[in-house]
Amino acid sequence: MPELPEVELVKRELTPVINLKITDVELSQHIYNGHKLNKRTIVKDDLDAFKEIVTGKTITHIGRRGKYLYFLINDEYKTTHLVSHLGMSGAYFIVSDFEDIKEHNFKKHWQVIFSLDNGQKLVYSDIRRFGEMHTHESLQDFPPFQRMAPEYTDELGFAHYMKMLRTKKYEEKPIKAAIMDGEVIPGVGNIYAVEALYLSHILPTKKVGNVSDKRLRELFDRITEVFELSLSHGGSTISDYRSVTGGKGEMQNSFNVYQRKECPLGHELKTKVISTRNTFYCTICQR
Ligand SMILES: [Zn+2]
- What is the reported pLDDT for 239? 65
- How far is ligand 1, taken at its centre, from the CA of residue 265, in Å? 5
CA atoms lying within 13 Å on the CB side of residue 9:
29
Distance 283 CA to ligand 1 centre (A): 7
The predicted pLDDT at position 150 comes to 98
Beta strands in the chain (DSSP E): 22-27, 58-65, 68-74, 79-85, 90-95, 110-116, 121-126, 132-136, 270-274, 277-281
Give the pLDDT of residue 247: 76
Assess contact for 219 and 196: CB atoms under 8 A: yes
Separation between Cα atoms, residue 16 and residue 47, nearest integer Å? 26
pLDDT tens, residue by residue, 94-153 = 999 999 998 899 999 999 999 999 999 999 999 999 999 999 999 999 999 999 999 999
In this structure, are residues 89 and 127 in contact, taking their beta carbons and an 8 Å threshold? Answer: yes
Query: With the C-alpha atoms ordered 117, 123, 129, 130, is the resulting torsion angle positive or negative?
Result: negative
Angle made by CA atoms 166, 170, 175, in degrees to the nearest 5: 100
pLDDT at 240: 65
Residues with catalytic function = 2-3, 67, 277
**Ligand 1 centre and the CA of 198: distance in Å?**
8
The domains of the chain, with CATH numbers, are: 4-147 (3.20.190.10), 157-281 (1.10.8.50)
87: left (phi over 0), alpha (psi -120 to 50) or beta: left
CA of 285 to the centre of ligand 1 (A): 4
CA-to-CA dists, residue 14 to 76, 115, 268, angstroms: 23, 14, 41
Output the CA 281–ligand 1 centroid distance in Å. Answer: 8
Q: What integer pLDDT is reported at residue 188 of this predicted model?
A: 97
Q: What is the dihedral of CA 177, 160, 199, 212, to 10 degrees?
A: -90
CA proximity to 122, closest of 133, 130, 111: 111
* 3-class secondary-structure state, position 178: helix
* pLDDT of the residue at 241: 67
Query: Which residue, 3, 2, 5, 1, is CA-closest to 227?
Result: 5
Which helix H or strand E contains 192, and what residues bound it? helix 190-199
CB atoms inside a 10 Å sphere around CB 223: 25
Tell me how long the chain is.
Answer: 287
Task: Kindly give the confidence (pLDDT) of every residue in the chain, 287 residues in length, as a single tens digit, with 9 standing for 90 and above.
Answer: 789 999 999 999 999 999 999 999 999 999 999 999 999 999 999 999 999 999 999 999 999 999 999 999 999 999 999 999 999 989 999 999 999 998 899 999 999 999 999 999 999 999 999 999 999 999 999 999 999 999 999 999 999 999 999 999 999 999 999 999 999 999 999 999 999 999 999 999 999 999 999 999 999 999 999 999 999 999 988 766 677 777 788 888 889 999 999 999 999 999 999 878 899 999 999 99
| Centre of ligand 1 from the C-alpha of residue 132, in Å | 38
